[in-house]
């Protein structure tokens, strides 16, 4: 039986592994994965791929914050710092504030035992769900993710297209998924595997296809497949707008996460 404390630990371990995995395959990126902290600097001017996470507040917290924030200040690249129940939430706050950061996003940790995954509904006519298999699939995936920004973020597309081989390598932990409506890519999702755990990331639907159940249908298929690959627990961090979708799939709330960035 997985305890509540185990779920939080497994969630943060999966998040950290996810943040580092593709970045390690991006030319020139720096990934510092030590006992105190995970620092990921893609080299891109895009905070989506520049992160600090899994920080341990048991040592000299002021020095840790100063070192990580100083790295990005020297590079001039934006970044975001993830705080969670196991990584300094409520403890590192004063040190981050002193360094000029503030919370810009709050998300809810959620988890689902995959043996309790509810039966999926019938897939609507014309909707095809599939894993990423080609460079063209990765380009479609990247375009959907980049469309979350206006205008679409070219750095997001550049990153994913550069690391494309790792995104359809079935021997690795990354599983990218696409939903196509009548042949047009309209939604994307990602499953990232750590032992026994399927982390859910990058669930996105193009604006004109939202509120049709496409994302939940895609995610259900992705989770059902993760279960066949040995995952027994699914975890994610949900923005407020996604809570309803995940609750309908059976996810339950486990804790709070915050993303901090440098104040303008």
**Of 263, 256, 245, 264, which is closest to residue 106 (Cα–Cα)?**
256
Determine the Cα–Cα distance for residues 221 and 46; give it in Å rounded to an integer: 30
* pTM, 2 dp: 0.95
Determine the Cα–Cα distance for residues 181 and 167; give it in Å rounded to an integer: 22
Q: Tokens 């375009």 label which residue?
A: 143
> Using an 8 Å Cβ cutoff, are 201 and 236 in contact?
yes
> Using an 8 Å Cβ cutoff, are 79 and 109 in contact?
no
Rg of the chain (C-alpha set): 18
* List of domains in the chain: 4-109 (no CATH), 114-254 (3.40.630.30)
Asked if omega into 151 is within 30° of 0 (cis), the reply is yes
Where are the extended beta strands (E) located within the chain? 30-33, 38-41, 50-53, 80-83, 101-113, 127-131, 174-181, 184-194, 197-205, 233-238, 252-262
Give the pLDDT of residue 118. Answer: 85
Mean pLDDT by 10 residues, the chain (264 residues): 83 97 97 96 96 88 96 96 94 96 96 91 91 95 96 96 94 97 97 97 95 93 97 96 91 96 85
Give the pLDDT of residue 1. Answer: 60
β-bridge partners, 80 = 51, 261
Q: Which residues contact 59 (CB under 8 A, 6 or more apart)?
A: 36
């Amino acid at each position: 039986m997985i305890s509540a404390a185990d779920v939080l630990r497994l969630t943060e371990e999966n998040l950290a592994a996810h943040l580092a995995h593709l970045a390690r395959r991006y030319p020139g990126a720096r990934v510092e994965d030590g006992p105190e902290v995970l620092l990921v600097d893609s080299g891109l001017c895009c905070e989506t791929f520049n992160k600090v996470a899994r920080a341990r507040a048991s040592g000299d917290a002021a020095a840790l914050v100063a070192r990580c924030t100083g790295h990005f200040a020297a590079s001039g690249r934006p970044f975001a710092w993830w705080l969670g129940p196991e990584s300094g939430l409520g403890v590192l706050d004063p040190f981050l504030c002193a360094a000029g950061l503030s919370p810009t996003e709050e998300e809810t940790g959620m988890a689902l035992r995959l043996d309790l995954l509810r039966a999926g509904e019938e897939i609507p006519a014309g909707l095809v769900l599939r894993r990423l298999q080609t460079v063209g699939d990765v380009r479609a995936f990247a375009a959907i993710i980049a469309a979350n920004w206006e205008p679409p973020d070219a750095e997001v597309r550049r990153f994913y297209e550069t690391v494309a081989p790792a995104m359809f390598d079935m021997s690795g932990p990354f599983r990218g998924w696409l939903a196509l409506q009548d042949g047009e890519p309209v939604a994307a999702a990602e499953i990232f595997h750590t032992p026994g755990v399927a982390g859910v990331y990058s669930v996105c639907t193009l604006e004109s296809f939202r509120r049709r159940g496409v994302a939940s249908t895609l995610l259900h298929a992705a989770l059902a497949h993760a279960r066949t690959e040995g995952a027994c627990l699914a975890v994610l961090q949900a923005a407020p707008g996604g809570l309803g979708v995940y609750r309908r799939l059976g996810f339950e709330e486990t804790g709070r996460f915050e993303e901090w960035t440098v104040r303008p």
